[in-house]
């Protein structure tokens, strides 16, 4: 059969048909490869941080049901007790404060005993905090650092402490970033910390793949969790406002804070998704797929708004935010 035969058969659109077929084949192969799963889940241990509530809490329940040995790091006794009661005897909890080197070391020693010779199949760096968020000028350096300590230093410190256990199992590191690690839409430490998680995770993946270790980044859109809870965010905005000098306050004007809070409520209520399983499904895939992806975006707002925005020129987001957010009263 020569090419002339195909041309006769398909007509002048031969090239189009061939390309189309190749694309469809590529998608089918990709979907098949993406659906392959690992074996031996009942022998594997996974450590999750930030399990008191939100994604971490739900993930522990799901991983337990899948048959993993789940080691859950909780910040509070109450969080740990509630989770243990809800899940059952297979799941084990440990008190963990990711901003405290000693606490991390203790949790690691405990996990090392639990996993024994098997090593640790997965660590999910999920613990995070969003407080405070607000206009950049309102922040003191400590305000930035408060978020960075948890979301950036915490992820780095946990990863470095647990890496020997992961290496032993040729396991997985799953880091929770955010769409705000792709588009910096908010002042304060949160976006900075999530950009840091993206960079740290990309470096890790490129450095560790030689050892059979996979590094996955989860990029959730806006979900109803403690991170997007309005009460603490608004309380912090009031605190930030109150720490401003009268001169700075005057440049924003009396009404600015109220307007800002109103816009934030409107946005959060409109976009926050309460189906946290969209995120935990991504985490589960990262831990159970034979070929985990480098990045997972979770939620419609992530897929349709934030990730596409992240590929656009900066001025698109600049203009969008300018249209949405209030204006300080004394602009140049």
Verify whether residue 190 is a known catalytic residue. Answer: yes
- Given the complex with ligand NAG, which of 99 and 281 has the nearer CB atom? 99
- Look at residue 94 and give its three-state secondary structure: strand
CB of 51 to ligand NAG, least distance (A): 14
- Which 42-81 residues touch ligand NAG, going by CB under 6 A? 75
Of 32-40, 60-68, 95-103, 179-187, which part binds ligand NAG (CB under 6 A)?
95-103
Does 193 sit near ligand NAG (CB under 6 A)? Answer: no
Using the structure block, give the residue that is written with the tokens 């799941």. Answer: 91
Largest Cα–Cα distance of the chain, in whole Å? 83
Shortest Å distance, C-beta 149 to ligand NAG: 8
Minimum Å gap between C-beta 168 and ligand NAG is 28
Q: H/E/C letters for each residue in 218-286?
A: EEECCECCHHHCHHHHHHHHHHHHHCCCHHHHHHHCCCHHHHHHHHHHHHHHHHCECCCHHHHHHHHHH
Q: How many residues bind ligand NAG (CB under 6 A)?
A: 4
Interacting residue with ligand NAG among 14, 38, 100, 271 (CB under 6 A): 100
Q: What is the DSSP letter of 1?
A: -
Min separation Cβ 103 and ligand NAG, Å: 7
Burial 196-228 (b: 16+ CB within 10 A, else e): bbbebbeebbeebeeeebbbbbbbbbbbebebb
Catalytic, out of 45, 190, 256, 296: 190
Region binding ligand NAG by CB under 6 A among candidate stretches 94-102, 183-191, 249-257, 265-273: 94-102
99 scored as a contact of ligand NAG (CB under 6 A) = yes
97 touches ligand NAG (CB under 6 A): yes
Q: Which of residues 172-191 bind ligand NAG (CB under 6 A)?
A: none
Contact range with ligand NAG by CB under 6 A, out of 62-70, 96-104, 152-160, 247-255: 96-104
The DSSP 8-state label assigned to residue 37 in this structure reads B
Helix runs in 138-245, H state only: 141-148, 154-169, 189-208, 230-242
Q: Report angle CA 254, 259, 265 to the nearest 5 degrees.
A: 145
Stretch near ligand NAG under the rule CB under 6 A, chosen from 97-105, 170-178, 266-274, 318-326: 97-105
The smaller minimum CB distance to ligand NAG, of residues 149 and 278, is found at: 149
Q: Which of 199, 198, 222, 231 shows the shortest CA–CA distance to 131?
A: 231
Which tokens in the block code for residue 150? 């948890």
The site for ligand NAG (CB under 6 A) is made up of 75, 97, 99-100
Task: Give the residue numbers marked as catalytic.
Answer: 190
């Amino acid at each position: 059969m020569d090419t002339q035969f195909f041309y006769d058969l398909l007509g002048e659109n031969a090239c189009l048909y061939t390309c189309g077929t190749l694309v469809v084949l590529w998608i089918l192969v990709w979907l098949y490869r993406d659906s392959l799963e690992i074996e031996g889940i009942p022998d594997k241990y996974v450590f999750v941080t930030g399990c008191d509530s939100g994604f971490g809490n739900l993930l522990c329940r799901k991983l337990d049901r899948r048959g993993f040995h789940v080691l859950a790091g909780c910040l509070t006794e109450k969080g740990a007790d509630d989770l243990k009661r809800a899940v059952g005897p297979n799941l084990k909890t440990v008190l963990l404060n990711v901003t405290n080197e000693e606490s991390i070391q203790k949790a690691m020693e405990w996990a090392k005993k639990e996993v024994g010779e098997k090593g640790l199949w997965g660590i999910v760096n999920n613990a995070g905090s969003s407080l405070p968020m607000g206009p950049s000028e309102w922040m003191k350096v400590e305000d930035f650092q408060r978020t960075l300590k948890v979301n950036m230093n915490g992820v780095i410190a946990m990863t470095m402490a647990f890496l020997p256990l992961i290496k032993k199992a040729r396991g997985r590191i799953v880091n929770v970033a955010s769409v705000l690690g792709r588009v910096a839409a908010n002042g304060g430490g949160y976006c900075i910390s999530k950009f840091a998680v993206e960079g740290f995770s990309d470096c890790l993946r490129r450095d560790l793949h030689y050892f059979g270790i996979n590094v996955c980044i989860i990029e959730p859109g806006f979900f109803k969790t403690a991170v997007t809870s309005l009460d603490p965010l608004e309380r912090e905005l009031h605190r930030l406002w109150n720490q401003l000098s009268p001169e700075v306050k005057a440049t924003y004007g009396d009404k600015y804070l109220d307007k800002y809070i109103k816009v934030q409520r409107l946005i959060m209520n409109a976009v926050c998704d309460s189906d946290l399983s969209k995120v935990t499904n991504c985490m589960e895939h990262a831990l159970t797929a034979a070929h985990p992806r480098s990045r997972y975006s979770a939620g419609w707002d992530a897929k349709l708004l934030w990730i596409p925005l992240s590929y656009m020129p900066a001025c698109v987001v600049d203009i969008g935010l300018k249209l949405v957010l209030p204006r300080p009263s004394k602009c140049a």
